[in-house]
């Protein structure tokens, strides 16, 4: 199978890309889905090139960097604006 010949960071990225493309198609943003699929193909080629050159660590960093940056920026927003990340619960009296 084709996935057996790909390195592990590329396979993980393909799973993430399929999830993102599915969401774009579900929201009927077909032009964005096409753009993301082209960018995903470029990224897959880059990750495979890095694996061929034995730069597996850099490939893993490129795969998880968006997730790390998104989490970091979310924490910064919570601390800067003083937002409480715990949800507010309202209690109602039932009579």
User: pTM of the entire structure?
Assistant: 0.73
pLDDT grade for 85, boundaries at 50, 70 and 90: low
High-pLDDT (> 70) share of the chain, % = 86
3-state secondary structure 56-68: HHHHHHHHHHHHH
**What is the per-residue pLDDT for 86?**
59
Question: What are the angstrom distances between the C-alpha of 83 and each of 26, 34, 69, 71, 88?
Answer: 31, 36, 19, 15, 11
- Distance, CA of 12 to CA of 19 (rounded, Å): 11
Domain boundaries, the chain: 2-80
């Amino acid at each position: 199978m084709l996935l057996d010949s790909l390195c592990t960071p590329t396979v993980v990225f393909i799973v993430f890309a399929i999830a993102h493309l599915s969401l774009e198609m579900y929201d009927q943003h077909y032009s964005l889905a096409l753009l993301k699929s082209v960018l995903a193909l470029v990224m897959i080629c880059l990750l495979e090139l890095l694996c061929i050159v034995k730069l597996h660590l850099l490939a893993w960093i490129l795969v998880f960097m968006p997730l790390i940056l998104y989490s970091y920026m979310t924490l910064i927003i919570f601390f800067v604006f003083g937002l409480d990340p715990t949800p507010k619960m309202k209690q109602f009296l039932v009579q």
